[in-house]
Amino acid sequence: MKEVETLAILSGKGGSGKTTIALSFAQMFAASGKRVLLIDCDLCTYGATFFFQDELEKKETHLSFLDILIGSFDEDQLNESDVSSIIFCDKDTNINFIPSYLKFNAPEMKKGVNNYNVLNLLKFILQYQREPDYREVGTLIQEKTKIIDRMFSKLIKKGNYDIAIFDCQSGYSLETEVINRAELINKRLYVFETDIISKSAANAMNKQLNYIEKETHQVYNKTTSPEQKIYSDPNKSHLTYNNLKAIEFSWAVKAAYSQKKLPSIDVSNPLFSNTICDLAKSLFPLSYSTIRDFVIEIKKGALNDLNKNLYELTKKMKARSQWIKFLGFTNGAIVLVMCAILFWGNINIDTIMATTVAIVILFTIIGWSMKPLKPLKKDLRERDKLANEYETLLNEIDVLHNTIKDESNSPSETTDV
C-alpha cells in the first residue's frame, strides 16, 4: 500500500510564517512531479486561501475544509465524486488545494467564521446562553476527529496523493486540536520567531496539545544571518522537540507575499529554497529521496549566491583595508613630522604650537582609523560564516551525487516466480 506523508504545521501566534512554509513545501514537491494536497485549516484568517482566492471565487463548487468539518460534504458524496471535480488544482503550480472556506461574500463570512458555527460549539453556547458542558465539548471533538480521519483518508487515497499538508490556525483552537488528534497526521511542525512573545505563544499552545503523541519538530523562522547558525543548533530547542535548520529572513519572500504571489522555490531564490529543501529532508524523507536532482540544482544555485556574497564582501573588506592602510601611513608621516620639529627645530612657541596641532591631528586620524576596524571584524566573521556554508553545501552536493550514483549502480531486486 502506498505510504502517504502528512504534516500539520502549527504556530503559537499569527505572522510566524507558517503559511509561507506550507506553501513552499507544496510548491516544491508539486513542481517535482509529486501529488500534493494542501489544506487550509485556518477558519479565522484563511491565509493560504488568500493566494488562490481570485481563482476560487470564479467557481464556488469546490470542496472546503469547513464543508468536511461541519458535515455538509459526507462520505456518500465523496464516493460519488471525481476528485478533479471537487478539489481545486492551481494550474500554475499544480498544487491540489482545499480552501478553509469558499463563500467569501456570504453574510456569515462578513461576521467572521468563528460566529458561523465552526464546530457547532459557539452556536450552542449562544443559543442556550449557558456555560458549555465540557464533556459535550470532548465528545464533539472526538466526533469531528473521526470525521477528519475518515474523510481525508479516503480523499487522499482516492486522489492518489503522495503528500498532504495541513496548514493549521495560529494559536490554539478546537479545529487545530481535531487536526492534531487525527491518526492520519504523521508529523507536526511548530513554527515560531526568535522573539519572546512568539516563544511564549508556542509554549501556551503546546501545553494544550502535548498530550497528543506524534513525531514533532520545531523551526525558527525569519532569523537574521548571524542568528541562523545559533537557532539551528539542536540544543536551542524551545519546546524540547527536534530543532531543525532555522530559516533566514528573505526579502524576496516578503516581496512575493505582499504581491499575493507564492514564494519562488527555485534557483531565483536559492538560499531560502535551500533551507526549505533541508527541512523537507527531515519532514518528508520518502518524497525527498525522489527529488534529489531538483535539490542539487537548488544547492548549486545557493552556491552561486554564496559565491557572489563572498565576492562582494571581499571587495568591501579590501576597500576598508586600503583605507586603514592609508590612515596608517598618514599617522606615520605625522609622527615623522613631529619628530623632525622636536629634534631639528628650535624649541619656541611656534614649534610647540606646531607640535600640539600635529598631536591633535594625529589622534583625530587614529580615531578615524579605528572606526573601520569594528565593521572589518564583523565582515571577517561574516566571511567565515559564508565560507563554512559554502563548504557545507559542497559536501551536501557531493553526498547527493554519490547517493544517486550508488542507487543507479545497485542491482535491481528480482523475485523468483
Three cell numbers written together for 255:
516581496
Closest CA to 103 of 138, 70, 62, 133: 62
| CA dist., res. 20 & res. 14, Å (int) | 12
For cell 522555490, what's the residue? 265
Is pLDDT of 186 > 60? yes
Mean per-residue pLDDT for 264-288? 85
Q: What DSSP assignment string belongs to 30-92?
A: HHTT--EEEEE--TTT-HHHHHHHHHHTT-TTS--HHHHHHTSS-HHHHHHS-HHHHSEE-TT
| Tens of pLDDT, residues 229-249 | 889 888 877 777 899 999 989
Long-range residue pairs from 289-293, CB within 8 A, at least 24 positions apart, any chain: 290/32, 290/34, 291/28, 291/29, 291/32, 291/34, 292/400, 292/403, 292/404, 293/404
Neighbours of 28 (CB within 10 A): 26
Least confidently predicted of 33-47, 83-97, 280-294, 308-322: 308-322
CA 85 to chain CA centroid, Å, is 31
- DSSP code of 189? E
Assess whether pLDDT exceeds 60 at residue 128. Answer: no
- Residue 368 confidence (pLDDT) above 70: no
Whether the CB-CB separation of 162 and 7 falls below 8 Å is answered with: no
Q: What pLDDT is stored for residue 383 in this prediction?
A: 78
**How many Cβ atoms are within 10 Å of 182's Cβ, its own excluded?**
22
What SS3 state is found at 213?
Answer: coil
pLDDT beyond 90 at 221: yes
Contact status, residue 287 vs residue 29, Cβ threshold 8 Å? yes
Give pLDDT, residue 80.
85
Lowest mean pLDDT among 80-94, 143-157, 241-255, 379-393: 379-393
Average pLDDT over residues 202-229: 89
Spatial separation of the C-alpha atoms in residues 402 and 119, rounded to whole Å? 51
**Chain center to CA of 278:** 11
pLDDT attached to residue 367: 64
Grid coordinates 536551542 are at which residue?
236
**Could you report the per-residue pLDDT of 193-202, keeping only the tens digit for each?**
999 898 889 8
Determine the Cα–Cα distance for residues 229 and 248; give it in Å rounded to an integer: 10
Q: One-letter amino acid identity for 115?
A: N
- The pLDDT value given to residue 150: 92
3-state secondary structure of 96: strand
CA atoms within 13 A of residue 145's CA, in its CB half-sphere: 18
Angle of helix 47-56 versus helix 18-31 axis, rounded to 10: 60
All cell numbers assigned to 386: 559564508
Strand-pair partners of 10: 190
Instruction: Round the CA-based radius of gyration of the chain to a whole number and report it.
Output: 30
Mean per-residue pLDDT over the chain, rounded = 79
Q: Are 256 and 263 in contact (CB under 8 A)?
A: yes
Among residues 142, 37, 145, which one has the least CA distance to residue 83?
A: 37
d(CA 84, CA 126): 38
